[in-house]
Homo-oligomer: A and B are copies of this chain.
Amino acid sequence: MSIRMGKKSDPMSDQEFDQLFRKVCNWDRWGPNDERGTLNYIAPAHVRAAAALVRSGRSVSLAIPVNTVAGPDNPHPAVHHMVQTHDVSPELGEPSFALDYMACEFHGDCHTHIDALCHIGYKGKLYNSKPASSVTSHGPTLMDITAYAHGIVGRGVLLDIPHFRGVKWLEPGEAVTSEELEGAEKAQGVRLAEGDIFLFRTGHHRRRLELGSWNNGYDGLGRAGLHARTMLMLHERKVAVFLPDGDGETVPSNVEGVAYPIHALQVGAMGMACADSLQFEELRKICEEEDRWEFMVVIAPLRFPRSTGSLINPIAIF
């Protein structure tokens, strides 16, 4: 299958993409062995400022419940089984223990997860110019998810594009531009700044809840996301973390010959901490109740050596 490009008002050629890649590239910015990428933007003052946003004490999950049912966007469903229920008399006496087991892939279009920087290769290179072959059949030899072991803490800013447009959700294939991001900033009275955690809402999950899941890949309906040029804005603003519903990609892509340009730029070039498949349906109601679009965010990836990512349950605290 070769990719088809969306008929967009603002397409990008392969060459332009390579220029953009170089412009936003952070390779060697924080040294040749850096594994934290844009997390380097988060300074102690940013964490303090994020904590200072905690006023009402409410917290809310940004994760989709883990999904064990196969479907058009979940070809590899998570597995969950009981290992033991309370039907078995405990060998040693009271109490009894109920135990379970899970298995899953860390990536895909249905489970809220974070990517390690080794997850993405572009033309044979990972972030910071490391060879793609650093990821062996035994797992990555560098830039695995333990680079984020001590958690990601900062100020979260939600830009709610469907709210800005006055629609329920963006339709598959629609791409959000920098101008629209800036428009949403102004309308909401917030501004993405250095070290921020950017929550990008397209309404992907709301569409899924209301219309059911759909094949959001190249052989399906596609998905709404960012235009590749928005990476310039995120780069200039020094955004540290990207949390989209969907995964940030517009499918079909705006870039000729590059199926998933956002991942290539964010993870491959910028070394940005990126998660996929969040949901903001509970969050946006709280934002409206609290009348603010900024809050503390804590992300705690599993401390899993040699892993290319982790299921996560990011928490927003108001």
Contact = CB atoms under 8 A, between A and B. Distances in A.
A214 interface: no
Contacts of A307: 80, 100, 102
Contact of A151 (B65, B92, B298): B298
B86 A135 contact: yes
Interface in A126-165: 132-133, 135-140, 146, 149-151, 153
Contacts of A74: 70
Interface stretch (A28-36, A201-209, A227-235, A255-263): A255-263
Interface string A297-318: 0111111111111011111010
Interface stretch (A49-57, A170-178, A182-190): A49-57
A79 to B, nearest CB: 7
A104 interface: yes
B82 A135 contact: yes
A32 B87 CA distance: 23
Given A94-B257, A96-B132, A313 B47 contact: no
Interface in A49-92: 50-52, 54-61, 63-66, 69-71, 74-88, 90-92
A107 interface: yes
Given A57-B46, A259-B93, A65 B99 contact: no
Nearest to A55: B48
Q: Which 6 pairs across A and B sit closest by C-beta, in order of nearness? A: A44-B57, A47-B57, A51-B54, A103-B103, A151-B315, A86-B132
